[in-house]
């Protein structure tokens, strides 16, 4: 892999045990808001973290993983980030969750992307964990064609709909919706099972957030996170250089309404924050066809952004 931000792949398995299936049934449907936070198994997750995420019983681990979803909306950044997210990522990357559990995670997290989120934590962290759910499928496919299409649709609709651009808060921790959605796009961009139509959905969603409307300046690395899936999508055989020519032309084109001076400055800042790291990575790519296609397109876009 080219980008230093991409973690090394780990093997995953698909075997679902009867005990795990029973645990899933007992775990029940996802809930949102204060009820979900009240159900957060923080004590069990702290115990698991102290043991380097080792949980003695397989069925207990499957159940705890599903219960951990309720922590993703917690206002406590430790419960949300250092316990729930770290646990779910560690177990999925170490092949410790059965296929039935990962499927249930996919269902619950996709629903959480659309559920009310008054404090702004639940949706971004659902997206962050969903990135690892997508990663499991690209390493060892477990989704059907329809389920994979549902995952793409859920992720792209969420990314396009993000309008909360808060990043880090010293007391509350991260929200970072755009970056977390971009992480799902990254895992999907690496999946060879996706179709051209799904790639086009992803490109449209990413383009919608490279320069968000209004006067918001990205300053938490959102541009770099958004450019990562574009780097890998530009290697996809489903997309031709002419497709990229048209995509970058649309991206760099000045909007019909110029808006305020602050909005123009924000757009220039955000566009450069996406194009510049992408240009560096493309310039260093060992894929000659990718480099030859995208470098001149990126140079053109950078010149347009500077105007």
Judging by beta carbons within 10 Å of its beta carbon (0-12, 13-18, 19+), is residue 151 exposed, middle or buried? buried
pLDDT at 148 over 80: yes
What is the pLDDT confidence band of residue 20, given thresholds at 50, 70 and 90?
Answer: very low
Q: What does each C-alpha distance from 218 to 164, 172, 265 come to in angstroms?
A: 12, 19, 11
Give the pTM. 0.88
Asked if 113 and 152 count as a contact pair (C-beta separation under 8 A), the reply is: no
Q: Provide the pLDDT for residue 129.
A: 98
Q: What angle separates helix 241-252 from helix 196-210, to the nearest 10 degrees? A: 20
Residue 31 CB neighbour total at 10 angstroms: 17
- Name 169's bridge partners: 173
* DSSP state letter for 194: -
Structure tokens given for 35: 């009820």
Domain spans in the chain, listed from the N-terminal domain onward: 1-142
* Nearest CA among 281, 277, 279, 272 for reference residue 251: 272
pLDDT tens-digit series, residues 220-277 = 999 999 999 999 999 999 999 999 999 999 999 988 777 899 999 999 999 999 999 9
**Contact call for residues 36 and 122 (beta carbons, < 8 A):** yes
pLDDT digits (tens, 9 = 90+) for 149-187: 999 999 999 999 999 999 999 999 999 999 999 999 999
In order of 40, 54, 87, 107, the CA distances from 96 in angstroms are 20, 9, 10, 18
CA distance 130 to 151: 9
CA atoms of 73 and 171, how far apart (whole Å): 15
Residue appearing with tokens 């790291």: 277
Instruction: Note the pLDDT of residue 13.
Output: 28
Smallest CA-to-CA distance from 130 within 149, 95, 103 is with: 103
Other beta carbons less than 10 A from residue 55's beta carbon: 20
pLDDT tens per residue, range 22-81: 333 333 444 444 555 779 999 999 999 999 999 999 999 999 999 999 999 999 999 999
288: number of Cβ within 10 Å? 8
- The dihedral over CA atoms of 194, 2, 142, 102, expressed in degrees to the nearest 10, equals -120
């Amino acid at each position: 892999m080219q980008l230093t931000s991409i973690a090394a792949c780990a093997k995953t398995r698909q075997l679902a045990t009867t005990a795990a299936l029973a645990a899933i049934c007992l775990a029940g449907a996802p809930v949102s808001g204060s009820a979900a936070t009240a159900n957060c198994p923080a004590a069990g997750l702290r115990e698991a973290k102290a043991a380097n995420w080792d949980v003695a019983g397989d069925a207990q681990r499957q159940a705890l993983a599903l219960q951990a979803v309720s922590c993703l909306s917690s206002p406590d950044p430790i419960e949300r980030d250092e316990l729930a997210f770290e646990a779910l990522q560690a177990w999925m990357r170490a092949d410790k969750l059965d296929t039935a559990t990962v499927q249930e995670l996919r269902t619950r997290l996709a629903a959480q992307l659309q559920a009310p989120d008054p404090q702004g934590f639940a949706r971004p962290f659902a997206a962050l964990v969903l990135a690892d759910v997508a990663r499991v499928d690209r390493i060892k496919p477990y989704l059907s064609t329809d389920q994979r299409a549902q995952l793409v649709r859920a992720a792209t609709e969420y990314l396009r709909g993000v309008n909360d651009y808060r990043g880090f808060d010293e007391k509350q921790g991260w929200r970072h919706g755009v970056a977390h959605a971009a992480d799902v796009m990254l895992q999907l961009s690496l999946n060879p099972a996706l179709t051209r139509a799904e790639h086009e959905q992803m490109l449209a969603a990413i383009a919608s957030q490279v320069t968000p409307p209004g006067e918001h300046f990205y300053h938490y690395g959102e541009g770099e996170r958004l450019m990562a899936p574009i780097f890998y999508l530009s290697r996809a055989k489903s997309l031709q250089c002419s497709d990229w020519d048209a995509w970058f032309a649309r991206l760099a084109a000045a909007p019909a309404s110029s808006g305020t001076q602050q909005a123009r400055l924000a757009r220039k800042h955000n566009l450069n924050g996406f194009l510049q790291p992408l240009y560096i990575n493309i310039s260093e790519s060992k894929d000659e066809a990718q480099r030859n296609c995208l470098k001149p397109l990126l140079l053109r876009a950078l010149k347009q952004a500077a105007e």
